[in-house]
Amino acid sequence: MSKAFTLSAARPGVITANDLRQGHNVWMCDDGWTADPRRATIFEDEAIAELALLKAIGQADLVVGPYLVEARRGPNGPEPTHFREAFRQRGPSNYFHGIQADQAQDIPETAHV
């Protein structure tokens, strides 16, 4: 997982996990969970993020292994700061599979819960 960091406005974060039933990566968004990382809710306040993480842990019927990870604000929403998260948001580099393929095909958000 990501290295510990102190959440702040300068170093915001997102909450991510895996979808329990299907396994794909999901991000906490304002109305639940999304498979589109650009829609993830950005947290800047540690106390609020911790509460949200507790809420995520409480949604074990939907997601597995939620964690808070650093992100930065980008023009289209949050962006990863570490290559591991970048791969999670894109998919593998050897095949056009995973999120990159879903986004290219504009697959409706099956993960939206």
Partner 1 sequence: MFDVRPVETDYVRHRATQFRAQVERRLDGSLTEDEFKPLRLMNGVYLQLHAYMLRVAIPYGTISPDQMRTLALLAEKWDKGYGHWTTRQNIQFNWPKLVDIPDMLDALADVGMHAIQTSGNTIRNVTTDAFAGAAFDEVADPRPYAELLRSWSTDHAEFQFLPRKFKIAISSGQKDRAVIASHDIGLRLTERDGKPGFEVWIGGGLGRTPLLGQVVRDFLPEEDLLPYVEAIIATYNLSGRRDNKYKARVKITVLERGLETMRAEIEEEFKARRRDFHGADREALSIFKDRFRAPSFRNAPTDAYDAERAANAPFRSWTDTNLHPHRVDGYASVIVTFKAPGQTPGDASAQQMRLLADLAERYGHHDLRVMHDQNVALPHVHKSDLPALYAELKAAGLATANAGLTSDIIACPGMDYCALATARSIPIAEEIADHFRAVGLEEEIGNLNIRISGCINACGHHHLGHIGILGLDRAGVENYQITLGGDAYDIPAIGERAGAGFPAEEVVPAIDRLLRAYLEVRQDATERFIDAYRRLGPAPFKAALYPVAADA
Which residue lies nearer to partner 1 by CB, 93 or 105?
93
**CB of residue 106 vs partner 1: minimum separation in angstroms?**
19
Which residue lies nearer to partner 1 by CB, 3 or 47?
3
Side-chain-facing half-sphere of 74: CA atoms under 13 Å: 15
- CA–CA distance, 35 with 100 (Å, rounded to integer): 11
**CB of residue 107 vs partner 1: minimum separation in angstroms?**
14
- CA–CA distance, 68 with 81 (Å, rounded to integer): 13
Q: What residues line the site for partner 1 (CB under 8 A)? A: 18, 20-25, 60-61, 64-65, 81-84, 87-88, 91-95, 97-99
Report whether 93 contacts 16 (CB < 8 A).
Answer: no
Which residue lies nearer to partner 1 by CB, 81 or 103?
81
**CB of residue 47 vs partner 1: minimum separation in angstroms?**
25
Which residue lies nearer to partner 1 by CB, 73 or 97?
97
CA-closest candidate to residue 102, choices 20, 16, 29, 38: 38
**CB of residue 10 vs partner 1: minimum separation in angstroms?**
17
Q: Is 63 left (phi over 0), alpha (psi -120 to 50) or beta?
A: beta
